[in-house]
Structure 1
Amino acid sequence: MTYSVVWFKRDLRWHDHAALDEASRIGPVRCVYIVEPELWRQPDAALQHFEFIRESLHVLDAHLRTLGGSIEIHHGEVTEVLTRLWQAAPFSSMYSHEETGNSFTYQRDRQVAVWCRDHQVNWHELPQFGVVRRLKSRDLWKSAWEQHMACAIRGPESLTFWSRPSDTPLLMLTPPHLKHNPPLRQHGGRTLALSTLHSFLHARSLGYRGGISSPLSAPDSCSRLSAYLAYGCISMREVVQSTRAHMEHLPPQASRHRAGLSAFISRLYWHCHFIQKLESEPEIEWSNMHRGYDDLRE
C-alpha cells in the first residue's frame, strides 16, 4: 500500500499543520520524527531543547493515537533513516514544513532534496510562518504575511495511517553529551502552549506594553510563547488570529489591554520579518549585516 511520509521537525502539533493536512488528502500517512545525531552535536543544541521536544512529541503521539495512529521516532541522519524506511516499504511522496534554520539544517535539507530526486520521491515543503522563499521583492512581503495569517485554520478532516500504532512507548535516546537543562525551564507540548496563550490573552497581556522592558515584570508580562512557536506546538497563524479575535471582544474602555495586544501583534510581525531576513540573506549567520563592523574584534 502506497503512503506519504510526514516528516515532523519544528512543527510538533496536529492542528493547523499544512504538511499533515495536505498528505492526508492524498492517502495514508506515516508520521516520522528523526533524532539526528549531528544536529544535536551543534553548538546551539542543549539538553533543555531535547527535553522540550520529547515532551512535545509525547503530547503529539497521545493525540495521534486517539485517531488510530502514532508518530514514529527514528535515530540517525535523515538520509540514512529515509533509506531504511524506503527499502522496507517504498513511498513516493514526503511532506514537511519549510524550515529557515542555520547552515547545518540548510545543508541537511539540500542532501535530503538530492536523496528525494535519486529515489523519485516528491518532497512537498509548505510554509509554516509568514516567510516567503525566493522572495522577489521586499515590497511584497507584508501583504504575503497578512495573507498567510488570514487563511482558515484547519486540521485534517480525517487521517488514515499507514500502520497501526506500536504498543511500545515512545523512545528517544538522549545524546549523552548534551548539557544545560534548567530546573525552571518551560515544558513542551500543545496543551501547555494553548494554556499559555489563554493566560496571556486574558490576563498577562494587560501589562505587556511597558512590562516587557523590565526584568522584574517581564517574566509575567511577556507572552512566554517563544518556545512553543519555535518548536511548532502552536502555529503563528493561531496566535495571530486568536489575538485579533480577543481584541475585537474587548470593551471600549479596555484601551490599555488593547494597546498591549496591538504591541504584541507587532512583535509577531517582527518575528517573521527577521526570519525572512535570514531566509533571504543566509550569509548573515557568518557575516556582519553592516560591513563597517568587519574585523572590528580582530
Structure 2
Amino acid sequence: MTPPILCWLRRDLRLSDHAALARAQQAGPVLALFIFDPALLDTLPPDDKRIAFICAALAEIRQQLRQLGSELVLCHGDPLAVIPSLAAQTGARQLFFARDYEPMARQRDAAITAQLEAQGIHVEAVKDQVIFEQDEVLSAAGKPYTVFTPYARAWRARLAPQDHAPWQVVLDSRHFVARASLPPALQGSDAPITVTGFEAVDLAAQNIRTGMHGAQALLDDFAGRIADYAALRDFPARKGVSYLSAHLRFGTVSIRALVQLALNEASAGAQVWLNELVWREFYQQLLWHYPEVEQASFKPAYRELAWPGEDAHFTAWCEGRTGYPLIDAAMLQLNSSGYMHNRLRMVAASFLVKDLLIDWRRGEHYFAAKLLDYDLAANNGGWQWAASTGCDAQPWFRIFNPVTQSQKFDPDGRFIRRYLPALAALDNKAIHAPWLAKTLPDGFSLGHDYPAPIVDHAAQRGKALALFGR
C-alpha cells in the first residue's frame, strides 16, 4: 500500500480547521495517532477531569474516522519509542504535528525530530494553536514585547484575513489510510477509550460539554451573547463568558474560529473578547522567549523574596476556609468543577500572594492540578500578573480587596450562596463580610457555621507593601 502520512494529534483534538492534518493530507493518505505519554499521566491524580475530557474528544474523532473507513491509532508510551515503532510497522516516512511552546514539549519535539530525521523520516511542525507565534510579533527594535498593550496594538496591526482563514481538511476516505490495511494491532477495538489508573468521570453529569460537537454548541451559544461580554464578563453569577477555555486548550475548537467570531461582530463585547484571545497569545510568546518564567519570577527583583506565609493558611485557601466568602466560594467552585471564573482567578491569586503572603508558585501549582482548562502559559502569566512579579505595567502595590471585589461583582451574593449554603440566610450586605455584620441570622454562629477571617486584609496589605517595597 501507499506509505501513510502520520499526523500526531496533541492540542488539536478535532478534524476541521486543522493545520497539521491539512498539511499531511497534501502529502498523501493520513493515519492519525494520539499518544498517552506516561511522563504526563504520572503527574495527574486518578480523578483528573482532563483525562476524561481528552478521552471523550478522542472517541468522537475515532467515530468519525471509522465512518470514513479509517482509524485513530491510540498508543501508550514514550513518543520517542512509540513513533519510530509505528513508522516501522506502517512504512510511514513522514510525520506532521502542530507546534507546542512549553519548555518540556519543545525539548521532546526536538528530540523526536532529530531521531526521526536521522532515520530518513521527514518531520514537519506547523503553527496551529495561535494566530501569531515565536518571533512573528516583535517590537520595532526586533525585541519580544514584555508589556501587553503595545503587544496587542502590534498584534492587531499585523492581523490579516489569511491569518485566521481556516485550514481545509477533506473528510473523504481517499485522504485517510484504510483501517483494513493496517496491522491488526493498530486497528483498535470497540471498547470505550480509557486510561488505566484513571477513574471514569461522568462529565455530562457535571454539565461539561466535550469534543468537537460540545465546542461548537458552546460557540453557537456564545455567538448570541458576545455583544454583552464586556458588560457581564466580571460577574461570576451571570452567564457572561464563553466557557470555551478547555476547548481552546485541547483544540476541540480552533483559535481561528474564535478570532473569526470576534471579527464578525461590531460590538464592544466582541472587541473585549478578542482582547482576551490576544492576552492568551501574549503569554504564549512570553513563555517562548523567556522559558525561565515557568520556574521563576519574570522580574529578577522578586526572585529572592522571602515569603512569610503560613502552611496552615495555604491549606485554608485551598480548601475554601479563609473566612472571606468570595475567596472561599471561588476555591470551592474550582475544587468541585475544575473551573474558576476569570475575575475570581485574579482575586483568589491576589489574596494568596498579597493577603496570605504565600509564594505565587504554590498557588500556580494548585491551579495547575485542578483546572480543566490548565494551560502553562496562561496560568503562569495570570499568576505572575496577580503577584506583580511578571509582565505588567501596573506597580506592585495593586492589591485586590476581597470584600469590595465581592460587593462589586457579586452584589446580591448569588455566587457565594451557590457554593457556601451556610451563608444563604445572610442578607446581601452581611454575606460579603459576615464578621462586620451588626446582626446575623438566628442560629448562625461565626466561627462555627462559617470561619472567621484567618487574616485581617488591612494589616496584611501593609505587610505586602513592606515585603514588595524592600
Q: Shorter chain as normaliser: what TM range?
A: 0.7 to 0.9
- Correspondent of 1:241 among 260, 266, 281: 260
Q: Retained in 2: the 8 A contact 1:149–1:241?
A: no
Aligned to 2:70: 69
Match of 2:16 in 1: 15
Q: Counterparts of 2:34 and 2:159 in 1: how far apart (Å)? A: 28
Q: Of 225, 232, 235, which residue of structure 2 is paired with 1:211?
A: 232
How far apart are 1:192 and its partner, in Å? 0.8
Task: Give the one of 164, 169, 192 matched to 1:150.
Answer: 164
Question: What letter is aligned with 1:121?
Answer: I
Aligned to 1:196: 218
Deviation at 1:200, TM superposition (A): 0.6
- Return 224-233 or 288-297, whichever deviates more: 288-297
Which residue of structure 1 aligns with residue 84 of structure 2? 83
Match in the other structure for 2:288: 279
Aligned counterparts of 1:70 and 1:7: Cα–Cα separation in 2: 13
State the 1:178 CA deviation: 7.3
Q: State the match for 1:160 in structure 2.
A: 175
CA distance in structure 1 between the aligned counterparts of 2:234 and 2:127, rounded to whole angstroms: 32
Aligned mates of 1:291, 1:210 — CA distance in 2: 37
Q: Counterpart of 2:112 in structure 1: which amino acid?
A: V
Which residue does 1:252 correspond to in 2?
A: none
Indicate the SS of the match to 1:186.
coil
Tell me the equivalent position of 1:26: 27
Q: Of the two structures, which has the highest relative contact order with CA contacts closer than 8 Å and spacing of 6 or more?
A: 1
Q: Aligned in 2, Cα 1:6/1:179: closer, same or farther, shift over 3 Å?
A: same
Deviation at 1:162, TM superposition (A): 2.3
Match of 1:24, SS state, is: helix
Asked if the contact 1:46/1:181 (under 8 Å) is kept, the reply is no
Gaps of 5+ in 2: 143-153, 181-186, 308-470
The letter of the residue matching 1:289 is F
User: Following the alignment from structure 1 to structure 2, what is the Cα–Cα distance between the partners of residues 167 and 73?
Assistant: 8
Q: Which residue number corresponds to residue 117 of structure 1?
A: 117
Greater CA drift, 232-241 or 136-145: 136-145
- 2:197 paired with 1:176: yes
Gaps of 5+ in 1: 249-257
**Residue 244 (structure 1) shift:** 2.2
Which has the greater radius of gyration?
A: 2
CA distance in 2, matches of 1:40, 1:148: 37
Contact kept? 1:23, 1:95, Cα under 8 Å: yes
Cα deviation, residue 136, structure 1:
7.8
Check conservation: 1:18, 1:126, Cα contact below 8 A: yes
Summarize the Cα distance change of 1:296–1:148 in structure 2 as closer, same or farther, 3 Å threshold.
farther
- In structure 1, what is the equivalent of residue 149 of structure 2? none
1:210–1:100 Cα change, 3 Å: same
Counterpart for residue 269 of structure 1: 278
Aligned residues: 284
Q: Report the Cα distance in structure 2 between the residues aligned to 1:221 and 1:97, rounded to whole angstroms.
A: 31
How does 1:89-104 map onto structure 2 within 5 Å?
89-101=90-102, 103-104=103-104
Please report the RMSD computed on the Cα atoms of aligned residues, expressed in angstroms. 2.7
State the secondary structure of the residue aligned to 2:38: coil
Match of 1:226 among 219, 223, 245: 245
